[in-house]
Amino acid sequence: MHSAHLSRREALLQLTTVALAGAAAYTGPVIANTFARNPFSLGVASGSPAADGFVLWTRVIDPDLDGKSALRIDWEVLESDSPRVVAKGKALAMPGLAYAVHVEVTGLESDRWYRYRFHAGGAVSEIGRTRTLPDPASNPTRLRFAYASCQRWEDGYYAAYRSMATEELDLVVFVGDYIYEYKSRPARDAVRTHHLPEAQTLQDYRDRYALYRSDRLLQKMHATCPWLVTWDDHEVENDYASHYSISGTLDLAARRIAAYQAFYEHMPLRASTLLAGLPGLREEGALRLYQAFDFGRLARLYVLDDRQYRGAPLCGSKPEAPLTEVCQRESTNERTMLGRAQEKWLAQAMEGASRAGTEWNFIFQQTGFTPRNYARGAGKGFSRDGWDGYWPARQRLIDTIVASVIRNPVVIGGDIHRNWVANVHRDPYDVTSTVIASEFCGTSISSRNRSSLDREARIRAANPHCLLTNAERRGYGVVEVTAKRTKVDLRVVEDIKREDSSVSTLSSFVVERDQPRIREAESSIDRISRG
Ligand code: FE
Ligand code: CA
């Protein structure tokens, strides 16, 4: 191993880059290694796009890294169709951030595709593709994105991503459960296994992300286009709610800090999401994920965080338990899902979109939004962990959508491991009230759902606002947006046990401009009636 210490002047020059990368001021040693094997084995990623740039991500893994010295990394951005380098620079991969780098590139052309790669000590990463957003004042004719969630390692292969990489997407929105914190399911109950302990410490969570990112198909999808990301519960622990653990974790605060840091380290996020820098992660609300992205005036994408700030779980959060009067009393109008600051920000962001005349408004959050009555009679069986457990907050969000008069709101979520397509009513418990938005939720990239077709049919019958519920299939949704309409294709994996599984379309839906009530796309009606 060769290492070359930088001069003090060089090191000082690089402090700017370090500060941008969100690390604390760094004055320690810097090395430039030569690697015996590929240090970029976790691949590359990009995200947080703007009209003039984006975040480029990689994490270097090598047994020779001592965990004390920073590593010098070079990055470059190339034109999409020529080898011309349009931007380049140096970054420091910091031991305090698991040798991950988050390069914030600016000064590029809007609405344009680029390629990028990293170099370190003679090694070169694979090349990624990414793009800038259109100018916020422009009127793009089309946006095409995928939404995805829930990719438990043991439950299946990521064939979904092999297919997604061919969809010619502008971006991917990942809405949570990127990792699962558990120890592996036993081999008899798993498609594939791992050997990691249940994640508790920073090192555990880092190892977990490294495991997931070792998957070639997931890497491929990250290298294909920019991702917008938020999290759900399993990035920390099952069904946690802000500071409340239902798993009996004694020190949830410590677990949260470790998990949040590892999440930041592994996602293409801007340093500004760390409101008080890395040491500030201990402070309340210190990792701010919620933000909005404009795809010109065609669409505003709101990425929300309904985990970090939510109120205590209702009635102990026992899933699908009957709603008792005691529970009803526990739920007051103060009950929050997003927290007051985010609610206020969202209302302002929606008013802004309304003023700008933005055509479509996509609200990404982590869980099921409309009521999901589990067929035991109205109000008697539902999930405590989704918006059903926080219905006053849901009503408040609906009120905000209505008051803002944003055009064409569409809610997109994950968590429920089933495809769920539903109309959002002004009063979500009254299907005779006006439809004010549409909802597309799930399914999962790989995480299982053991529900049956019969049970899903009963659930659908008990939820007249629901057009489709299907828990059988894993996959993702593809959303194509034009000024006139939004079309959603539900893609499903044929065999989750196969890395090379084919992917097909379960069904397709359309939302016409100014008509939030969802309709089935002509092409998919046959398929549904046969199902
Ligand atoms: Fe999940
Ligand atoms: Ca979840």
How remote is the CA of residue 451 from the centroid of ligand 1, in Å? 14
pLDDT at position 29: 87
For the chain, give the percent of residues with pLDDT over 70. 89
How remote is the CA of residue 134 from the centroid of ligand 2, in Å? 32
How remote is the CA of residue 366 from the centroid of ligand 1, in Å? 9
For the chain, give the percent of residues with pLDDT over 90. 79
Task: Quote the CA–CA distance of 359 and 192 in Å, as a whole number.
Answer: 43
The amino acid at 463: N
Model confidence at 330, pLDDT cuts 50, 70, 90, reads low
Please identify, in words, the CATH class of the domain defined by 134-530. alpha beta
* Selection from 305, 361, 371, 349 nearest residue 479 by Cα: 361
How remote is the CA of residue 239 from the centroid of ligand 2, in Å? 7
pLDDT at position 383: 82
The dotted CATH code for 1-133 is: 2.60.40.380
The label of the residue with tokens 């201990």 reads 282
Model confidence at 526, pLDDT cuts 50, 70, 90, reads very low
Task: Quote the CA–CA distance of 82 and 87 in Å, as a whole number.
Answer: 13
How remote is the CA of residue 228 from the centroid of ligand 1, in Å? 18
User: Which sequence spans correspond to the domains of the chain?
Assistant: 1-133, 134-530
Model confidence at 380, pLDDT cuts 50, 70, 90, reads low
pLDDT at position 12: 36
Report whether pLDDT(375) > 90.
Answer: no
pLDDT at position 531: 31
Model confidence at 17, pLDDT cuts 50, 70, 90, reads very low
pLDDT in tens, 348-372: 999 999 999 999 999 999 999 999 9
> Which stretch of 200-214, 222-236, 238-252 has the lowest confidence by average pLDDT?
238-252
φ/ψ region of 526 (left if φ > 0, alpha if ψ in -120 to 50, else beta) reads alpha
| Chain mean pLDDT for the chain | 91
How remote is the CA of residue 335 from the centroid of ligand 2, in Å? 20
Report whether pLDDT(18) > 50.
Answer: no
Ligand number nearest to the C-alpha of 151: 1
pLDDT in tens, 397-413: 999 999 999 999 999 99
pLDDT at position 49: 98
How remote is the CA of residue 404 from the centroid of ligand 2, in Å? 29
* Selection from 71, 59, 64 nearest residue 28 by Cα: 71
- Say what the pTM is: 0.93
Model confidence at 507, pLDDT cuts 50, 70, 90, reads very high
Comparing 415 with 18, the larger pLDDT belongs to 415
pLDDT at position 493: 98
Question: Ligand 1 (ion): which residues have CB within 5 A?
Answer: 150, 177, 447
Question: Ligand 2 (ion): which residues have CB within 5 A?
Answer: 177, 232-233, 415
| One-character DSSP codes across 247-263 | S--TTHHHHHHHHHHHH
Comparing 20 with 397, the larger pLDDT belongs to 397
Torsion angle of the four alpha carbons 251, 257, 262, 268, in this order, in degrees rounded to the nearest 10: 150
Ligand number nearest to the C-alpha of 368: 2
